[in-house]
Amino acid sequence: MNDQIYHYVRKHTSMVTTLIILGFLLLGLGEYKLYRKQMQLSNMVSEGLMQIKEGQDGTILPSVQPPLLPTQE
């Protein structure tokens, strides 16, 4: 009887430990991906601000037309 309880507790403890480790690994991966996206967004904002700053000295920034919807053609 004691062997059955020992094996059950050991199996349960190892399963819970594995789930906790996997949870932390998933959280770490999510944080890394979020950090990469944040850096990418920061670079895009910096480039946009530099373009705006360069456009203030009298040069005209290129205009971009949005795509037309099929009903507007």
Helices (H), 1-73: 2-55
Per-residue exposure over 43-54, b if at least 16 CB sit within 10 Å of its own CB, e if not: eeeeeeeeeeee
55: CB partners within 8 A, 6+ apart: 61
Cα gap 4→10, rounded to integer Å: 10
**pTM here?**
0.56
* Range in 11-20, 23-32, 45-54, 61-70 with the lowest mean pLDDT: 61-70
Instruction: Give pLDDT tens digits for 33-70.
Output: 999 999 999 999 988 888 888 776 655 556 666 677 77
Half-sphere exposure of 3 (CA within 13 A, CB side): 0
